[in-house]
Structure 1
Amino acid sequence: MLRLPRLGDSALIVVLLLPLAVALPRLGGLSGPPELWLTWVGRVTGILGLAMMLLAGLVSCRVPGFDRPFGGLARLWRLHHWLGFAAFILIMVHVLALGLAAVPASLDAAVATLFPPPSQGAIWLGWLAWVAMVVFLAPTFDFFGKPHYQRWKRLHLVSAVALLFGLWHALLLAGEAWPWWLLGIAGLGAIAWRKGVAPQRRHPYRIEQVVSLARGVVELVLRPEGSGIRHAVGQFVYLTPLDERLAAGRGEEHPYTIASAPSDSRLRIGIKDLGDASHALQTVMPETRVLIEGPYGEFFERRFPQRDMLWLGGGIGITPFVAGARNLGAGSVPDVHVHLFYLANNPDRAYYRQEFCEIAARVEGFAYTQHYHRDHGPLTEAFLREHRPDFAEREIYLCGPPGMNAYLQRLLIEQGIPAARIHSEVFDFL
């Protein structure tokens, strides 16, 4: 089954095509000698490339709730990445096509088209935008290894320079400027919000308790200093610790899934030692002040709410299911039956096993099965069918390490389960 376009996707397509629709009457047709249609291709790819750049800036605003029409922040961020990559490719085609269009006249004419005298400032603004875009995108191609998370986020400021020069380039050359003013205000305004306004609107919390769940895994219990945030099951937040004693991560924001039920007066976040910042938080002191931004995501969105649910969680990816189980345990009445399979290497790594067992014992609509890799190997279709014979008929949610997610998706699709009924979430440079 194909997924229907989301409302946010449709809106992006309309806005993306707006500058092209306005410019098309002036661009002519594709008939005539090759240099004419190469010029047409060059102009169209330039318009679409810059529009994609500005839309990539727009969708980076990260306003809570803005991500929901796009299917959550993780999916919105993937759109952001693809818009940026596609914009780069289109702009390269734009430059190449316009240069080739001038070749029939002479090679000197082609060079002069791309590298005119300094007085042709509009063209050189385009080159400055291209250079800034290369500087910004180069680390994402892993030329120098995986980029450092926080340095990569700060490098996003270079993208604002690319957008500014690209917009200036278009305004000087476009016949109709108003679409570019509209997109420019939206794209650059979103970056200004993200870097300037949004950090001032984070919610202050205090760490009330640090609960050790296993070696290298803790759950932070956070007490709001004000009204705090309101969240749904399966959402996540950005946490910024302010403790000067931390060995790493002070003042840095990182995404973590909320493990508490929406009705809980405390915000609970499970954190596994997976990097410098998360390692430092393993020993953070109570009463440390932190800032919370969010919530984001809609992991438990369902297109077929009449279907029972199957949850497959492992590693620290178990946290959205902890929130879901706690919500049921707090008295939320399930409208469908839920069966959780907790995938862990061994009992020591099943951090929330006992709590899941207790909730399953008292909540009629919640079932729980433990799977240990040490005893059973990777999860199999036979194990699923033994413990939940109707698993293939359910709406399926999975969350865990990327390798586990990829394996489970292959396993489920091999059973004929449509991809539209398999929901997963991975934080990858959010």
Structure 2
Amino acid sequence: MNDTTRLAGPASRRDEATRPAGPARRRNGRTRLAGPAAVLSVVAVVALWLANGGIGPGEPLTSAGRVTGLVASDLLLLQVLLMARIPWVERAYGQDLLARRHRVIGFLSFWLMLAHVVLITAGYARTAPASVPGEAWSLVVTYPGMLLAAAGTLLLILVVVLSVRAARRRQRYETWHLLHLYAYLGVGLALPHQLWTGADFTASPLARLYWWGLYGATLAAVLAFRVALPLGRSAYHRLRVDAVVPEAPGVVSVYLRGHRLDRLPVRAGQFFLWRFLDGPGWSRAHPYTLSAAPRDNLLRITVKDLGDGSHRVGRLLPGTRVLVEGPYGTLTAERSSGRPPLLIAAGVGITTMRALLDDLGPAGTGATLLYRVRTRAEGVFRLELDDLARRHGVRIVHLEGSRPRHGSWLPAGWSAGDDAAALRRLVPDVAGREAYLCGPPPWMAAVRACLRDAGVPDDLIHSEEFAW
């Protein structure tokens, strides 16, 4: 029996043994402590500012500048912590939700930082007295750490401008990822002046303890989970490309082998950040989900050539070494409530659904898969899906057709303007099912709205986006 046949079968005994008995959704609700912790950290910062004479008889602009700077610093560090890939935080929230909160906190901290710069400069200028431009120049060239802070602020402005959705859509993934790394440098340059000259830091032992602790925890988390853990796992498991197999036009599956993959804590539906050591450009990581349940000696990913570096994957040679970061993601069988699953995929999103069918086990009984494709010939895993339908009773519906003009998630001619009614015709018992989605984000948003209209509770609709 070849590897492809094995991957088309049910989950291994290791997967069944580690599958939780009940829905993980409830457990995650009890472990989501990052949100309250973030609020408490801001409260602590404001309390320390008040304890150190925050509201006093001095210049009100300077006082306002101090508190906005302290809160901005706190949020900048929390923003880094959110994307530090801390495993228990990832499992509780999922990387897409963390990325959205990272984005919101990032913009909030950025505007607070700009308010801090303006208010402090204006406050000092009124006290001196001096002109605002003259005081700004004096602060940058005479105060310890301020030149570094000015350089860091300019880097953060650059990153924020390029993170606006309109600008980000025009960038290749590799370009945006490289530029986004400058945010770490910006944070590193912008914050130290607080340690050297900040009155709220130098005047209070408790404030020094808090800030040094937060700086230390942030640095330790980044080094441990963004550097040490990925390098350690890559060195231990020694992943290499075993084979590259065409699946459809522009789509290939990569089979990977390594050392003791049974100890790799990954489930079907999760993804890694992959770096293939095949030449220049290897340092840029790309997120690819597993397209089959992991086996003790084999992993598989399936990649579509989208031109953002993914075209190199089809040319990988057997034996190519691989570095991995992860696993990430919460779109797994752990979310199952026991209801019959409805899996809905578009395009290469079938990779995640294909892996989930392996791992759902008994919860997958009576599963229905709706697979949105332009033509059946462009579909991926045709033989494997036919095998699942024949052996495990999975009902598979190929939604063939071109994209409709009115923005429906269904192909042209399938909905007649009423997506919810069309969905009920396709899946009459849809309201009693649990849904898993994978595809382009706008498409998934349309599917989610349609499922709600068809009577599926929102907490039984599961989806996840790659966070970049």
Q: TM-score, normalization: structure 2?
A: 0.78
CA RMSD between the two structures: 3.2
Match of 1:60 in 2: 83
Q: Is the 8 A contact 1:313 1:341 kept in 2?
A: yes
Post-superposition offset of 1:211: 1.9
Post-superposition offset of 1:130: 1.3
Match of 1:26 in 2: 52
| Alpha-carbon distance in 2 for matches of 1:158, 1:411 | 40
| 415-424 or 49-58, larger mean C-alpha shift | 415-424
- Over 3 Å counting, the alpha-carbon distance change for 1:107 and 1:378 in structure 2 is farther
Match of 2:397 in 1: 369
Q: Which SS does the other structure have where 2:138 is aligned?
A: coil
Post-superposition offset of 1:320: 1.3
| Alpha-carbon distance in 2 for matches of 1:339, 1:384 | 12
| 1:395 matches 2:427 | no
| Alpha-carbon distance in 2 for matches of 1:322, 1:66 | 26
1:209 to 239, 243, 257: 243
| 1:221 matches 2:260 | no
2:101 to 76, 79, 96: 79
Q: Percent identity?
A: 31
Q: Which SS does the other structure have where 1:305 is aligned?
A: coil
Q: Between Structure 1 and Structure 2, how many residues are aligned?
A: 416
Match of 2:461 in 1: 422
Could you tell me which amino acid in structure 1 is paired with residue 444 of structure 2? N
| 1:319 matches 2:351 | yes
Could you tell me which amino acid in structure 1 is paired with residue 99 of structure 2? W
Post-superposition offset of 1:180: 1.3
Q: Is the 8 A contact 1:102 1:109 kept in 2?
A: no
| Alpha-carbon distance in 1 for matches of 2:302, 2:385 | 15
Higher helix proportion (structure 1 or 2): 2
Q: Is the 8 A contact 1:206 1:225 kept in 2?
A: no
Q: Is the 8 A contact 1:114 1:123 kept in 2?
A: no
User: Which ranges of structure 1 fall in alignment gaps of 5 or more residues?
Assistant: none
- Residue pairs, 1:21-420, within 5 angstroms: 21-29=47-55, 36=60, 38-69=61-92, 71-101=93-123, 108=130, 110-111=132-133, 114-116=136-138, 118-141=141-164, 146-171=170-195, 172-173=197-198, 174=201, 175=203, 176-193=207-224, 196-198=227-229, 200-201=231-232, 202=234, 203-227=237-261, 229-244=264-279, 249-263=281-295, 265-300=297-332, 305-327=337-359, 332-334=361-363, 337-363=366-392, 366-374=394-402, 377=413, 380-415=419-454, 417-420=456-459
| 162-171 or 252-261, larger mean C-alpha shift | 162-171
- Over 3 Å counting, the alpha-carbon distance change for 1:354 and 1:227 in structure 2 is closer
| Alpha-carbon distance in 2 for matches of 1:394, 1:340 | 12
Q: Is the 8 A contact 1:218 1:282 kept in 2?
A: yes
User: Which ranges of structure 2 fall in alignment gaps of 5 or more residues?
Assistant: 1-27, 403-410
Q: Which SS does the other structure have where 2:184 is aligned?
A: helix
Post-superposition offset of 1:144: 8.8
| 215-224 or 72-81, larger mean C-alpha shift | 72-81
| Alpha-carbon distance in 1 for matches of 2:327, 2:168 | 33
Q: TM-score, normalization: structure 1?
A: 0.84
Match of 1:10 in 2: 36
Q: Which SS does the other structure have where 1:108 is aligned?
A: coil
Q: Which SS does the other structure have where 1:265 is aligned?
A: coil
